[in-house]
Structure 1
Amino acid sequence: MNFRNSIFLFSVCLAIAGNAQQLDVYLQQAETTNPKISGVNNEYEIALEKRNEVNTLPDTEFSVGYFISETETRTGPQQFKLSARQMLPWFGTITARKNYVAAMADAEYVNVVIAKRQLKLNVSQSYYKLYASMDMQNVLREQVSLLETYEELALTYIEVGKASAVDLLRLQIRKNELLQEIEALKNTFKAEQAEFNSLLNQPVGTQIKVVNLSQMPLDSLSVSNTTVTTHPELIKFDKLYESVVSNETLNKKEGIPDFGVGIDYINVAERPSQNFSDNGKDILMPMLSVSIPIFNAKYKSVSKQNELRQEQITNERKERENQLNAVLAEALSARETALMNYRTQLKNLQHAKDAEDILTKSYETGIIDFNDILDLQELQLKFEKAIIKSITNYYLQTATLNYLTK
């Protein structure tokens, strides 16, 4: 096995501890700077602030009236009137409103948790795609470097009549194809880098530090949860259900009569040229009022809506749970397949490299077939690409599993 091949297997098989640390740095940065996270946090803060909004009584009513045509009473003519009214909800209504708003705030908080999980998933997957593009470019550059070595060898063999110009042209054509593929991967890397930077809310051209992925385990890592039952996406439905229950409690409270208290003050002028004890005595009249919901179809309708809403939430939760379990099963299967492919392609690559060693030894006898060289290099490149794809897919599926189970 030559030195280049040893380096490749070494880079694939050995763990690079800095990868996990570097990714964690980006994940923390994204959680701090991503505008979507800031937006859902604002929504949660708004929901919390609504508790102060509902923890109040209805507006106090003040009114003033002036008698254009004064009303005569025994004690004198009425001149103007001042009134104050305060409606009071039934006992426990304000508490029910606060409970409903608190339940809605809990649902908004779950949105924050979900958004952070989704962001972590997106950043991780984008990072792994950047790795795949970068590592694929490195493999292709190694192939180009090796082909350039063979070009020099072909020139030497042409001079001594052991190779033809056609062999040289085939090597050059293959090298040009690899160079074109490298350029295409550079464009892919730039596009993915722009996507990654957008998740971190930084300029799209910011350079991203990507290091090799850690060593793939030879056995698939176990997952503690084989079914999804307590994922935040499901907890959100539970919180919404609780909010509907709270809304129904509030609806029943609002269907009970409200009462109010108030006071009227009427200014009375004195009768001129008369002298009696109550002359010009003002009027002070306490008031008590009741608001009775005689037409209560509204509250019956809200109760029916809440009942239907509970059924809807239950059905939607079950549907989403089934979907998440399907995604979990698919991710587990795909990760296991990636691991099997990785092991198989490592063996195939080793066999191809053994064949390359045999072919290299044939140079000493002066026997060389550049068609065999190209075929063997293309086969090695196929296995190396498959290994990178398997590693990338393994970690992409692991990111999905982390989203679903952690």
Structure 2
Amino acid sequence: MKHIKTVFFLFSILFTLKGNAQQLETLIDEALANNPEIQKIELQYKRVSEKVNEVNTIPNTEFGVGYFVSEPETRTGAQRFKVTAKQMLPWFGTITSRENYVSSLADAKYEDIVIAKRKLMASVSQSYYNLYANKGKQEVLIENIKLLKTYETLALTSVEVGKASAVDVLRLQMRQNEMQQLKDVLSQQFLAEQTNLNNLLNRENDVAVSVVDSLMMPSEDFEIATKNLALHPELLKYDKLFQSIEQSELLNQKESSPMIGFGLDYINVSERPDMNFSDNGKDIVMPMVSVSIPIFNKKYKSQTKQNELERQEIIAKKQERLNTLETLLSKAINERISARISYATQTKNLKQAKDAEDILIKSYETGTIDFNDVLDIQELQFKFQMNQIDSVKDYYVQSTIINYLTQQ
């Protein structure tokens, strides 16, 4: 599990500022230690494992006491009371089969722990990247609002010399208002996502979460071991369930065998008065052996048929889940490629938008600035910056999904 965790925050260690490299790792550690869902499944696993001690028993020993109200007379005397002890024993290997069956159920439940931890690490990572994108977008909005204020100052100067109208100023101010609104909305979304992450870590909702200042697009993608998909815990769980059905059938065969019982009867006998012979008043001790045979065994035949049907059901479920995971993996790989393509395009567009902005500023020096063009270029630049942040976030989110599906 430690190796899996290392893979999940690998990107943050490699591609973030050094001072913040351990931030995601710390959050994942805290989540694994405190998340109540993980604790719940671990307790379920311990409970199922404890059942091994429950089934490692033999049937209760039977004791009986009887008192003869009307004492029957025998040659050696009257019978007064009777004490009986009896112990039934299951067929050879039945208890071991029970232990093996319960252990197989515990093995299947353990895979639930592995799956839950993987999902939790993926959820924490994705929430962290959502916070990063939100923070980055807010910073872009702050920069663009400052830029629009600069343009507003230029527009006011142009209005004073008759080279621009008051409408241009109002348009720039309205654009600032829109961006401020977007920033306020993002601030609220950041708090909501922060609450989500804190809940994953099982801590107070208002605990502040710090994220890295920047994430770089890796120069190349890590190698994807698609063959590892067949060893994913979600699929291994079906293998463990299949084994538990096999153990269930072995136990069913054992329980359909006879049970052997051993017992002892003791009968107290009173001495016959006024008689003297060697066995007078001699108590009776009678060892017994019994066999319990399941003659009417429809129950066991039905259980065998149910086990066979359940085997077929598990095979179908596993294939269905494998198909789903393969689809998820293919989608994540393609979307990560798309994120890289989008990032490259937005980077190119941003450079061209910056060049256009420089041309507009130089135009202002000659007194020919068009503030409609200013707003158009600023809006394009803003869109490219936001898309670039989304591309980086999508790349890391899809990488997290790929890691969830393929890392061992």
TM-score using structure 1 length: 0.94
Tell me which moved more, 76-85 or 109-118.
76-85
1:243 to 2:244 alignment: yes
Q: Relative to structure 1, is the Cα distance of residues 226 and 330 closer, same or farther in structure 2, using a 3 angstrom cutoff?
A: farther
Residue pair 1:130, 1:189 contacting (<8 A) in 2 also: yes
- Find the residue that maps to 1:308 and give its secondary structure: helix
Q: Deviations for 1:378-402, whole angstroms, at most 9, x for unmatched residues?
A: 0000100110111111111011001
Asked whether the equivalents of residues 218 and 343 of structure 1 are also in contact (C-alpha less than 8 Å), the reply is: no
Does the CA contact (< 8 Å) of 2:119 and 2:404 recur in 1? yes
Q: Does 1:369 align with 2:370?
A: yes
Aligned to 2:192: 191
In the alignment, the residues of structure 2 paired with residue 42 and residue 337 of structure 1 have an alpha-carbon distance, to the nearest angstrom, of 42
Query: Map of 1:114-263 to 2, 5 A cutoff?
Result: 114-225=115-226, 228-263=229-264
Q: Please report the RMSD computed on the Cα atoms of aligned residues, expressed in angstroms.
A: 1.5
Residue 363 (structure 1) shift? 2.4
3-state SS, counterpart of residue 215 of structure 2: coil
Inter-partner Cα distance in structure 2 for 1:377 and 1:193: 30
In 2: Cα distance, 1:275 partner to 1:208 partner? 99
| 1:215-258 alpha-carbon deviations (Å, 9 max, x no partner) | 11233332122672110000000000001111111111111101
Describe the shift of the 1:350–1:15 C-alpha distance in structure 2 as closer, same or farther (beyond 3 A).
Answer: farther
Q: Residues 339-354 of structure 1: matches in 2 within 5 Å?
A: 339-354=340-355
The structural deviation recorded for 1:163 is 2.1
Alignment of 1:4-403 (within 5 A): 15-225=16-226, 228-403=229-404
Contact 2:271 2:282 in 1 (8 A): yes
Go from structure 1 to structure 2 and tell me whether the alpha carbon gap of 1:340 and 1:127 turns closer, same or farther (over 3 Å shift). same
Q: Report the residue type matching 1:218 in the other structure.
A: S
**Post-superposition shift, 1:17?**
3.3
Conserved? CA contact 1:19–1:214, under 8 Å:
no
SS at structure 2 position matched to 1:65: strand
Query: 1:79 and 1:281 mapped to 2: Cα distance?
Result: 12
Q: CA deviation at 1:18?
A: 4.3
1:49-82 deviation per Cα after TM superposition (whole angstroms, max 9, x unaligned): 1111111111111111111221222222212111
1-structure distance, mates of 2:84, 2:165: 112
Cα deviation, residue 212, structure 1 = 3.2
Gapped runs of 5+ residues in structure 2?
Answer: 1-14
Give the secondary structure class of the aligned counterpart of 1:70. coil
Structure 2 equivalent of residue 8 of structure 1:
none
**Residues 332, 402 of structure 2: 8 Å contact kept:** yes
Overall identity of the aligned pairs, in % = 55
More deviation in 289-298 or 183-192?
183-192
Find the aligned partners of 1:156 and 1:81 in 2 and give their Cα distance.
118
Instruction: Supply the distance in 1 between the matched residues of 2:397 and 2:193 (Cα, whole angstroms).
Output: 15
Distance in 2, Cα, partners of 1:226 & 1:380: 42
Amino acid at match of 1:151: E
The whole-number CA distance in structure 1 between the counterparts of 2:51 and 2:19 is: 45
1:290 Cα deviation from its structure 2 partner: 0.4
Q: CA deviation at 1:47?
A: 1.5
Amino acid at match of 2:333: L
* Alpha-carbon distance change, 287 to 226 in structure 1, aligned in 2, over 3 angstroms: closer
C-alpha distance in 1 between matches for 2:282 and 2:205: 81
TM-score by length of 2: 0.94
SS in 2 for 1:69: coil
Contact 1:85/1:262 (8 A) holds in 2: yes
SS in 1 for 2:230: coil
Q: What is the deviation of 1:263? A: 0.8
Aligned to 2:229, the other structure's residue is in SS state coil
Call closer, same or farther: CA 1:213–1:38 in 2, change over 3 Å.
farther
What secondary structure does 1:68 align onto? coil
Q: 1:136·1:385 contact (CA, 8 Å) conserved in 2? A: yes
Cα distance in 1, alignment partners of residues 72 and 23 from structure 2: 86
Aligned 8 A contact 2:16 2:212 in 1: no
- The answer to which of 233-242 and 122-131 deviates more is 122-131
Which amino acid in structure 1 is aligned with residue 101 of structure 2?
A: Y
Name the SS for the 1:274 alignment partner.
Answer: coil
Q: What does the per-residue CA deviation read over 1:246-295, in whole Å, with 9 as the maximum and x for residues that have no partner? A: 11111111111010111111111222333222222111111111000100
Residues 244/18 of structure 1: CA separation in 2 closer, same or farther (3 Å cut): farther
- Find the aligned partners of 1:334 and 1:71 in 2 and give their Cα distance: 92
**SS state of the match for residue 163, structure 2?**
coil
Separation in 2, partners of 1:213, 1:300: 65
Quick one: structure 1 residues 90 and 226, their matched pair in 2 at CA, closer, same or farther if it must change by over 3 Å?
A: closer
CA displacement 1:111-154 (0-9 Å, x = unmatched):
11001001111111111111111111111111111112222222
State the secondary structure of the residue aligned to 2:257: coil
Q: Could you tell me which residue of structure 1 aligns to residue 10 of structure 2?
A: none
Which whole-Å CA distance do the structure 1 matches of 2:260 and 2:338 have between them?
70
SS at match of 1:244: helix
Q: What is the identity, as a one-letter code, of the residue corresponding to 2:330?
A: A
Residues in 2 aligned to 1:20 and 1:110: alpha-carbon distance in whole angstroms: 30
Q: In the alignment, is the contact (CA less than 8 A) between 2:215 and 2:392 conserved in 1?
A: no
Alpha-carbon offset, residue 16 of structure 1: 2.0
- Classify the secondary structure of the residue corresponding to 1:295: coil
